[in-house]
Chain A
Amino acid sequence: MSERTLDHVSEAVRDRLSRVEDPELPVTIADLGMLKELKVVDDEAGRARVHVSLVPTFLGCPAQFIIEASVREAALTCPGVDDVEVAWLDAAAWSLDDVTPAARRQLADVGIAVPNADGQLSCPNCRVGNVVIDSEFGGTLCRRLGHCDACGDSIEVMKAANPGDWAPGLAGSLPLVLEPNGRSSEEDSSERR
């Protein structure tokens, strides 16, 4: 396979994989920050072999099997690709910082808030109030439950896989209010208890 052909195949694979969607959220796995490495190599028999490394959001996420199958299937639809190897980087950190602005907008459109680095967690529905966390556990491992303090709507909030970095010293408070600026809001949580 010539270098130019390999480049074409690589580009096609990159483009195709960038469109693989998460089965539980209406965004791509690339925009969620799960697509870590992509390597396309010549297998010396005139075909291309694809190596993909993925980062799990939470280690127990059951969607991993579907994502892996989708990635494999997507890569195999690209002409010239013969073989796909998918590896999960269990130990690699996944952070809310890895979620792209595009994904944040798309998630807000379906009522899912993603905390950002400046500590703001505004309501994705009314866009006026702030989201108050009601439970650290939600419908999927990467989500938690909250509500808006202005419109009262129930809001799902993306959950940090590294809460220690986002809010050290949160143990003991229930429900939790996580603030990404490194402190937990004790007053808010005690008021609701």
Chain B
Amino acid sequence: MTATEMPSAVTSLPSGERQLAIKLADEQLLTGHVLTAVSGWGPEIEINLALSSIGQDELGHARMLYRLAVGEDRTAINDLVYTRQAGEFQAAPITAVYTEDWERLIVKEYLFDTADRARSELLANHPLFASALDKMKDEEIYHLDFWTAWLRRTAQGAGHDAVQEALDELWPLTPALFDLPGIDGAADAEARWREDAHAELASMSITPRTDALAYDATDDLTKILSELHAVYDQAPGNW
């Protein structure tokens, strides 16, 4: 489909909704890139299969959300993914966290995926997002199961202190996940999510704190974009 044949629903998309779709897509893209990049570092093949599968799923979710934003126009999607600089990405910084550290990775994914589920529920009746997020939410059941089980297993074992340290530096980055301009009820959804996360983490003897120094993901975003853009910069085209 060419740009001129874009469905009218897309061309007439209010700019607020388009920006929100791009923000949600950016977050899936960064998360997916990191997971596919670290697959291979896991201790066993099943973990690596999980990391690469979950990463691929997230990249697919990014593609779907970019399609919601700009339609089937692949040049427009390429421009969004491959030509924007760090300052133009709208993603919550936690999604850019690029880490070789297992505890930090599972804490990041647990926080992002549970918050993302809360956002999907918030947008369950939204005319633009509802049906697409419904399919995405189904796939995410596998991801949540994996991250939650590994977080629990790690936190209740020798990794307890490392999980607490990772949470200390990542928890302060979570409010941006609920920065959803134009969406009613975002603050309430965030409050409910925090309450649920507190309860689940408490069951693992982990406590969210707000007084710790937040992780700075600025360099991580630069690293992701340099990897993501490397091939395109040398051979522009439709990837």
Report A's interface with B, CB cutoff 8 A: 56, 58-62, 85, 87, 90-93, 134-139, 141, 145, 159, 161-165, 170-174, 176
Contact = CB atoms under 8 A, between A and B. Distances in A.
A145 B48 CA distance: 13
Nearest to B238: A65
Chain B interface size band reads 35 or more
Interface of B: 1, 32, 46, 49-50, 53-54, 56-61, 63-64, 67, 72, 131-132, 134-139, 141-142, 144-146, 148-150, 152-153
A174 B145 contact: yes
A172 B147 CA distance: 9
A137 B50 contact: yes
Given A62-B56, A137-B142, A145-B46, 19 more contacts: A58-B139, A60-B56, A91-B132, A91-B135, A92-B135, A93-B138, A137-B146, A138-B53, A141-B56, A141-B60, A145-B49, A159-B142, A161-B135, A161-B139, A163-B138, A165-B138, A172-B148, A172-B152, A174-B150
A140 B136 CA distance: 17
Q: Name which of B50, B53, B152 has the most chain A CB atoms within 10 A of its CB.
A: B53
B117 to A, nearest CB: 10
Contact of A137 (B46, B72, B137): B46
A95 to B, nearest CB: 10
B129 to A, nearest CB: 10
Q: Which of A92, A137, A141, A161 has the most CB of B within 10 A?
A: A137
22 contacts: A56-B60, A58-B60, A59-B60, A59-B135, A60-B56, A60-B58, A87-B1, A91-B134, A92-B135, A93-B135, A135-B46, A135-B50, A136-B50, A137-B53, A141-B53, A141-B57, A159-B142, A161-B138, A164-B141, A171-B148, A172-B148, A174-B146
